Amino acid sequence: MASTEDKSANKEITSSWKDSFYNPRTGEVMGRTASSWALILLFYLVFYCFLAGMFALTMWVMLLTLDDYVPKYRDRVPYPGLVIRPNALDMSFNKSDPLKYAEYVQHLETFLRRYNDTEQEKNEDCPRGEYFMQDDTEDMTKKACRFKRGFLSLCSGLSDTNFGYSEGKPCILLKMNRIIGLKPRGDPYINCTVKRDTPIQMQYFPSEGRIDKMYFPYYGKKAHESYVQPLVAVKLLLTKEDYNKELTVECRVEGTDLRNNDERDKFLGRVTFRIKVVE
């Protein structure tokens, strides 16, 4: 008794399921006739067009309020991050196998192309040791200070096209992130240390890893088109004992008010990378 009841109920369900997709008696597809579908779709078309219009309008108004040169808020980037080139935090290569380090060399070469003399000759030769302020100029386009590749001397890739990788004394380039309006106080310089008991020799270019204040402040992509960031190259003078070992190097921006010990952000004013050179 019960089972037959169930069966008839099941039948009803399946037929109603089929009907809900297409009901041949009323010509309904998914519970609506064609005209009903047309009407409701038209309604939604109008509705969403209106919404999209409103969205576009508000976006347009919002974009109008924005300044082309300076973002409205800069509170999310108060301090610059520190990054290295080649962009790899875990470097490992065989100094006698060019194929292994070609990638890094290639990367550095491309990166430094903007610092070629041909490019930099166009830029100003600014007075050293002071901010290059241009706030009061009428012109919105700002001039940029020259940073020649040659400043990096041994790590410029001019004299040694392999950036020291072939001799096992690799160059690492450090750059501070661009932040509009940033004016670091004091005399910023980069200092790198190896995290182990015995230090290794390092050479900084420009000397002492200094970052000159004339490269600040930055006026933004649109105003400061030809701007290049100041770089600091550090050449790790590894000796035989240091090969085949993984070295952890930490570099920090020192001598300024820029943060370099933030707990959350491990790249704020500092960078840690590992390097292993195989003989």
Partner 1 sequence: MNLAICLLLQDDHEITIEELETRYNTSVTKGLTSTFASQVLERDGPNELKPPKGTPEYVKFARQLAGGLQCLMWVAAVICFILPVFMVTSAFSLQLYLAITLISVVVVTGCFGYYQEFKSTNIIASFKNLVPQQAIVIRDGQKNQINAHQLVVGDLVEIKGGDRVPADIRIISGQACKVDNSSLTGESEPQSKTPECTHENPLETKNIAFFSTTCLEGVATGVIINTGDRTIIGRIASLASGVGNEKTPIAIEIEHFVDIIAGLAIFFGFTFFVVAMFIGYAFLEAMIFFMAIVVAYVPEGLLATVTVCLSLTAKRLARKNCVVKNLEAVETLGSTSVICSDKTGTLTQNRMTVAHLWFDNHVHAADTTEDQSGQSFDQSSETWRSLARVASLCNRATFRPDQEGVPIPKRLVVGDASETALLKFTELTVGNIMDYRNRFKKVVEVPFNSTNKFQLSIHELEDPLDLRYLLVMKGAPERILERCSTILIKGQELPLDEQWSEAFQTAYMDLGGLGERVLGFCHIYLNEKEFPRGYAFDPDEMNFTTSGLCFAGLISMIDPPRATVPDAVMKCRTAGIRVVMVTGDHPITARAIAANVGIISEGSETVEDIAQRKRIPVEQVNKRDARACVISGGQLKDMSSEELDDALRNHPEMVFARTSPQQKLIIVESCQRLGSIVAVTGDGVNDSPALKKADIGVAMGIAGSDAAKNAADMILLDDNFASIVTGVEQGRLIFDNLKKSIAYTLTKNIPELTPYLIYITVSVPLPLGCITILFIELATDIFPSVSLAYEKAESDIMHLKPRNPRQHRLVNEALAVYSYFQIGAIQSFAGFTDYFTAMAQEGWYPLLCVGLRSQWENVHLQDVQDSYGQEWTFSQRLYQEYTCYTVFFVSIEICQISDVLIRKTRRLSVFQQGFFRSVKTHPKHASLGIMYLNSQSYSITIYRVNSVSVSFQWWFVPVPYGILIFVYDEIRKLGVRRYPGSWWDQELYY
Binding mask 36-55 for partner 1 (x = CB under 8 A): ---xx--xx--xx--xx-xx
Q: Out of 93, 132, 204, 218, which residue is the one contacting partner 1 (CB under 8 A)?
A: 218
In the complex with partner 1, the residue whose CB is nearer, 94 or 229, is: 229
Residues 163, 105: contact at Cβ < 8 Å? yes
Length of the chain: 279
Q: CB-based contacts of 127: which residues, under 8 Å, 6+ apart?
A: 214
168 binds partner 1 (CB under 8 A): no
Q: Out of 13, 34, 42, 89, which residue is the one contacting partner 1 (CB under 8 A)?
A: 89
Q: Where are the alpha helices (DSSP H) in the chain?
A: 2-21, 34-65, 98-112, 117-120
26 binds partner 1 (CB under 8 A): no
Taking the complex as a whole, the smallest distance from the CB of residue 50 to partner 1 amounts, in Å, to: 9
The stretch near partner 1 (CB under 8 A) out of 20-28, 83-91, 152-160, 246-254 is 83-91
Sequential DSSP letters for 153-175: GGGSSSS-TTTTTTTT--EEEEE
In the complex with partner 1, the residue whose CB is nearer, 113 or 196, is: 113
Smallest CA-to-CA distance from 211 within 258, 278, 141, 262 is with: 258
The stretch near partner 1 (CB under 8 A) out of 113-121, 209-217, 242-250, 264-272 is 264-272
217 binds partner 1 (CB under 8 A): no
Residues 275, 247: contact at Cβ < 8 Å? yes
